[in-house]
Structure 1
Amino acid sequence: MKDHIVISKATIDRLPLYFRTLRLGQEEGIEIISSEELGQRLGVTPEQIRKDLASFGQFGKKGVGYYVRELIRNIGEILGLHYNWNIAVVGIGHLGSALANYQNFSSLGFNLVAMFDSDPEVIGKSINGVEVVDIEKLGEIVKERNVHIGVIAVPAVFAQTVADKLVTAGVSGIWNFAPIKINVPENIRVVNEDLSVGLSSLSYHLSRKMLKNNDQS
């Protein structure tokens, strides 16, 4: 990887898309893929794909394309998926349960090792072989099971408290599904997933389309 080059956020955000699409192609039996075919599958120009990948090194052969298995391994290493990160989900409601049941975590190199909740009716239940534990034990279990990433799936009012607990316990990153900005030290990486933002954005585009159709009628 070319460490001296500053990689844009847009490029980094596209890498998981390339990784997922290549894995699907591998399942279809594709061994070699061109930037043109990969671009068609993703709606990204071949030039952009080649530029993105060139930021990290030389992949593929001119006039041949990319060897799918090799590129999957290379992108997986760039994304750090080979480290087998341990994750913990906090908040086992509908969303938390769905995340805990997500089968692709393990295939991507993420290990669900802990789940926490405060509801007595949920504590003690098992999902994917992992028992839901009282959130009061979060600190000791996060350290004991070497949790790297905490997933926050609690209501917004509890999100900051949970984030504080995770940071104190020693996680390195937080995947936040609560619809609120959480405050953490600079050394903790946070990725926010506000589902309402995505739906609202979709609503905006649909409403613009409806207004345009009404104007034309």
Structure 2
Amino acid sequence: MNYQKIPDETIKRMPMYLRAFSILKTENQDTISSSQLAERLHLNPPQIRKDLSYFGAFGTRGVGYPVASTADQIRGILKLDVPQKAVLVGAGRLGAAIAEYPGFALFDLNIAAIFDNDPSKIGTKIGTNIVEDIEKIDTIKACDIHLAILAVPADTAQSVVDGLADCHIKGILNLSACYLAVPKSIKVVTIDLAMELGTLPYYMM
């Protein structure tokens, strides 16, 4: 299946479905209908059915989606059926908060290394990781790490990304408030908290 043709918005909703099915699994629920799932996620049933149909057959008409196997299928689609390791660049307040965020565990995502260029942070411990010198970033080549989280100032972000591109990184979560130029082989997802917050007043009545 050519996942490249699947809408980005659908891909963005898949982790939400995975979280829902994972929680349902802990609640010992065996099946759930698209209507029940839609109510839980504040979506509409046709949207859920359409999203999942991109990836093949899910569930049984009149019965619903089997919780455990659907969770496993979605994990496979997202390539989360094996633990994924990420490198975090930036050990400031934002980076430190990200490093200890417990929500990654649900998706088997692990912050495996942290780097910074601040001498006062290098050598300190955040969570289970010792902050390393950014000059040694190429050491991740031997660690089977293909994901990166960028939590550095905008004026240094591009140079950091250039270094990550040489380290076989394939996906970057960019929390720096800037555009990044990367090779086509690297997928970048940018989250600018100020811009996101800046949209909310528009919806205020």
- Residue matched to 1:32: 31
CA distance in 1, matches of 2:136, 2:110: 19
CA distance in 2, matches of 1:4, 1:13: 13
CA distance in 2, matches of 1:159, 1:152: 7
Q: CA deviation at 1:146?
A: 2.3
The amino acid of 2:142's aligned partner reads E
- Residue matched to 1:215: none
CA distance in 2, matches of 1:109, 1:156: 29
- Residue matched to 1:84: 83
CA distance in 1, matches of 2:115, 2:50: 42
- Residue matched to 2:74: 75
The amino acid of 1:80's aligned partner reads K
User: Do the aligned partners of 1:5 and 1:55 also contact (CA within 8 Å) in 2?
Assistant: no
- Residue matched to 1:18: 17
Q: CA deviation at 1:92?
A: 0.6
Q: Secondary structure at the match of 2:166?
A: helix
CA distance in 2, matches of 1:5, 1:106: 27
The amino acid of 1:155's aligned partner reads P
- Residue matched to 1:130: 129
2:54 corresponds to 1:55: yes
CA distance in 2, matches of 1:178, 1:34: 39
- Residue matched to 1:65: 64
Q: CA deviation at 1:4?
A: 8.2
- Residue matched to 2:42: 43
Q: How does 1:1-217 map to 2 (within 5 A)?
A: 2-3=1-2, 6-139=5-138, 141-206=139-204, 209=205
- Residue matched to 1:214: none
The amino acid of 1:167's aligned partner reads A
Q: Could you say if the C-alpha distance between residues 90 and 5 of structure 1 is closer, same or farther in structure 2, counting changes exceeding 3 Å? A: closer
User: Do the aligned partners of 2:116 and 2:131 also contact (CA within 8 Å) in 1?
Assistant: yes
User: Do the aligned partners of 1:117 and 1:135 also contact (CA within 8 Å) in 2?
Assistant: yes
Q: TM-score, normalised by structure 1?
A: 0.89
Q: Structure 1 segments of 4 or more deviating over 4 A? A: none
The amino acid of 1:98's aligned partner reads A
The amino acid of 1:114's aligned partner reads A
Percentage of pairs with the same residue? 40
Q: Could you say if the C-alpha distance between residues 203 and 125 of structure 1 is closer, same or farther in structure 2, counting changes exceeding 3 Å? A: same
Q: TM-score, normalised by structure 2?
A: 0.94
Q: CA deviation at 1:9?
A: 1.6
* Structure whose alpha-carbon radius of gyration is higher: 1
User: Do the aligned partners of 2:113 and 2:129 also contact (CA within 8 Å) in 1?
Assistant: yes
Q: CA deviation at 1:3?
A: 3.5
1:19-47 CA distance string (max 9 Å, x none): 11222222333221110000011121111
CA distance in 1, matches of 2:145, 2:54: 31
- Structure 1: any 5+ residue segments left out of the alignment? 210-217
1:141-195 CA distance string (max 9 Å, x none): 2112222111110011111011111112221111110000010111111111111
